[in-house]
Structure 1
Amino acid sequence: MKIYDVEGFPNPLRVRMALAEKNALDQVTFVPVDVMNAEHRSDAFLVKNPAAGVPVLELDDGTYISECSAIIEYIDHTFAGISLTGTSAKERAVISMMQRRAEFMVLDAAATYFHHATDGLGPDLEIDQNKAWGNKQAKNVLAGFKYFNTVLGNAPYVAGDVFTMADITLFAGLVFADFGKLTVPSQYTNLLAWRAKIQDRPSLK
């Protein structure tokens, strides 16, 4: 198995965290993608993922799987260890719902702000910017912070009582927010305490 990614980027972090949580980092080979020189937009890479994004998982039979949630689901069902996607129908549904909320309310919104309303990855890569749209997404990120601060006032983790894929996604979303210098307000103590708790997990060491 191979994973094409960029170490240190928020979305690749999601997959690396999942592998670490399953004690499976040594079961894959990481292949660095030179995003800064637009390798992810090359014809060779677009065969792997036509959306031109990282990470991408390549299975031994040549199958390519992109989209972090799909890759993490594959990892969760392939390797032993804690369940990241749930076991019962209810657990799986709640985790999927909260993971998607973390994705579009924080991570995707922070990414849009970073790529459209800041210098992002530089002028050679950040083409067709729409700063008004990016700034609108910054407001959505702040609304997402408020929402998840409330959620985490009622439960220890994003989807309930245990750590799941939803926590991984929200944590990566906060990393993307850091890229754009979107800071969690100090009054959101539940979200800040949760972030410190996740940061202390072995999978992030």
Structure 2
Amino acid sequence: MKIYDTEGFPNPARIRIALAEKGATDEVSFVPVDVMGGEHREDAFKSMNPDATVPCLELADGTHISQCNAITEFIDGHFEGPSLTGTSPKQRAQIAMMNLRAENGLLNAVGAYFHHATEGLGPKLEIDQCAEWGNKQKDVAAQTMAYLDTVLANQEYLAGDAFSVADITAFAGLAFADFAKVEVPEQLSNLTAWRAKVAARPSISG
């Protein structure tokens, strides 16, 4: 199988971490997409992924799967190793809930700020900007960071005692925040400690 992505971007990073957690990085080939050159918006790429976003998974039978959560769902079910999305209905629901909170409230909120309220990826790619919306989403990201800090006051990881896709998403969101110069408040000690712990995992540090 192939993964079309742009190394170093937040959403591709989520998939690369998930693959590493499953010990499956060598089971796929990565095909670079020139996002800065607009390759993701060309017809050839959009025929695989009409969302015009990276990453996009291509299976051996030609099936294309986009959207990080869908790709991670496939990876988690296809490869052996500890589950990232949960094994019981309750666990799967809790992980899905926290993953969406991290995605919508942090990673996507930072993305909206970056793409709408800053120069982002430059004038050729950043069209129809709305700075007011971007700045409001920056506030959402700050509120989500504070919320995640309270969650981590009582448990090891965002969805309980086990590392999950929710942690991957939040970690990528904080990395994006660093890049976009969205400050992580120093007083969020639980979030900071969790981040250091996650950063030390072989799937990320290695």
Same fold (TM over 0.5): yes
In the TM superposition, 1:39-78 aligns within 5 A as 39-78=39-78
1:106: how far off? 0.3
**2 CA distance for matches of 1:61 and 1:36?**
29
Q: Is the 8 A contact 1:114 1:179 kept in 2?
A: no
Count how many residue pairs are aligned between Structure 1 and Structure 2. 205
User: In the alignment, which residue of structure 2 is the partner of 1:178?
Assistant: 178
SS of equivalent residue, structure 2 residue 30: strand
User: In the alignment, which residue of structure 2 is the partner of 1:190?
Assistant: 190
**1 CA distance for matches of 2:6 and 2:175?**
14
- Runs of 5+ in structure 2 lacking a partner? none
In the TM superposition, 1:149-168 aligns within 5 A as 149-168=149-168
Which letter does structure 2 place at the counterpart of 1:63? Answer: T
User: In the alignment, which residue of structure 2 is the partner of 1:20?
Assistant: 20
SS of equivalent residue, structure 1 residue 15: helix
Q: Is the 8 A contact 1:14 1:68 kept in 2?
A: yes
Q: Is the 8 A contact 1:156 1:194 kept in 2?
A: yes
User: In the alignment, which residue of structure 1 is the partner of 2:86?
Assistant: 86
**2 CA distance for matches of 1:123 and 1:175?**
23
- Runs of 5+ in structure 1 lacking a partner? none
1:123-147 deviations in Å (ceiling 9; x for gaps): 1111111001000000000001100
Which letter does structure 2 place at the counterpart of 1:131? Answer: A
1:48: how far off? 1.0
1:69: how far off? 0.6
1:177: how far off? 1.0
**2 CA distance for matches of 1:162 and 1:102?**
16
SS of equivalent residue, structure 2 residue 146: helix
Give identity over the alignment, percent.
Answer: 62
Q: Is the 8 A contact 1:11 1:55 kept in 2?
A: yes
User: In the alignment, which residue of structure 2 is the partner of 1:200?
Assistant: 200
1:48-70 deviations in Å (ceiling 9; x for gaps): 11111000000000000000011
1:175: how far off? 1.3
1:180: how far off? 1.1
TM-score with structure 1 length normalisation? Answer: 0.99
SS of equivalent residue, structure 1 residue 30: strand
**2 CA distance for matches of 1:46 and 1:15?**
20
RMSD of aligned residue pairs (Cα, Å): 0.5
User: In the alignment, which residue of structure 1 is the partner of 2:141?
Assistant: 141
Structure 1 stretches of 4+ moved >2 Å: none
1:52-95 deviations in Å (ceiling 9; x for gaps): 10000000000000000110010000111111001011000100
